[in-house]
Amino acid sequence: MTDATSRDGSRSGSTAQPVGGAKGPDELRRQIEETRGQLGDTVEELAGKADVKGRAKAKAADLKDKAGAMSVQLRSSAAHAGHAVQDKAGRAGHTAQDKAGRARDAAERRTPGRARGAVRAGLGHPRAVLAAGAAAGVVVAASLVRHRRHGHC
């Protein structure tokens, strides 16, 4: 690609000084060094833009850092939510225990004398109450079967 030279001696599309502007060999050397520096900077910029692999690696590293930060933030949010759920579950458990205690107390107040002691014992040993109820059911069922066989129905 060639640059056109205008009437004043400068080239269009170029950052170069006017042609023939050097006043001596030292000035010409300075201009050459300046032009070399500018050319070196331009080459570095173009090389950076052309280095697609390097830019992709830099972008990937940046995205990895952002993902790591997001992961830490999400873990923190999840831990906070977990603690909130634990707190609510604990309060619900205490509320249920309080209600069960109030229901037990109400049942005890309605049950007279000896039965009150049996209810307290039953609440303390639910498996024993279940076993006794099952045994009573077997006894009742056996007596019904026996009565029917002997014609008492």
Q: What are 118-129's pLDDT values in tens digits?
A: 777 777 777 877
Residue type, 84: A
Distance CA 52, CA 129 (A): 79
Kindly report the pTM of this predicted structure: 0.33
Q: What are 89-107's pLDDT values in tens digits?
A: 888 877 877 877 787 777 6
Structure tokens at 122: 């039953």
pLDDT of residue 1: 45
Q: Which of 10, 12, 29 is nearest to 20 (CA)?
A: 10
Distances (CA, A) of 125 to 22, 73, 122, 130: 111, 49, 5, 9
CB 123 within 8 A of CB 104: yes
Distance CA 110, CA 123 (A): 15
Distance CA 24, CA 30 (A): 10
